[in-house]
Amino acid sequence: MKLPLIIFVTCTFLQVTGQSTQNTINNQVWKPFINTYNSRDTDGFMAVHSKDVVRSPRDGKMVLNWNEYFKQQKRGDDQGKTSGNKRDLGLRFTERIANDNQAMEVGIYKVTITEKSGNIRTFYGRFHVALRKENGIWKILVDTDSSEGDSIGEQYYMQASPME
């Protein structure tokens, strides 16, 4: 009778610990990532990234360090502010794995651009992100994404799990 109880308590502990880690990652990384991306706050956006970040937008066949990523992001944010276009980023997850100091997150993103003219464009892709804790705070260490030849769409986005 004790063995089933021990197994139940262990499984419950692991599930709660995993959820707690995911909630911490959501609060320290994903919520600020989404908010600062949507508001075109380059400094806030880059603050959730490690200074050792490796950024690879695979469709563009690039690999960027922190400084290169910052410059690219700043240029895009400034252009977006000037154009008056609004953007809305959504993230959903297909895999979330974490221990005390490292995590791997895989999912689908959806970016909706609403142009000043009212024209709406939507883009999708799959992301893979490695995170690590730096001084007790989760940071993005590796960030790569791809539209996979424009094969990622709304159906993949909806099949993935929302951030909890």
pLDDT in tens, 93-107: 999 999 999 999 999
The whole domain housing 93 covers 2-162
Record the pTM.
Answer: 0.86
Alpha-carbon distance 145 to 124, whole Å?
10
Split into its structural domains, the chain has a count of: 1
Whether 7 has a pLDDT exceeding 90, the answer reads: no
Phi first, then psi: what are they for 149, rounded to 5°? 70, 35
* pLDDT confidence of residue 10: 40
Q: Which tens digit of pLDDT belongs to each residue from 20-76?
A: 999 999 999 999 999 999 999 999 999 999 999 999 999 999 999 999 999 999 999
> Residues with Cβ < 8 Å from 132, sequence gap 6 or more?
50, 101, 102, 103, 138, 139, 141
CATH number at residue 100: 3.10.450.50
Question: What rounded mean pLDDT belongs to the chain?
Answer: 91
- The per-residue b/e assignment along 70-92, b for 16 or more CB within 10 angstroms, e otherwise, is bebbeeebeeeeeeebebeebbb
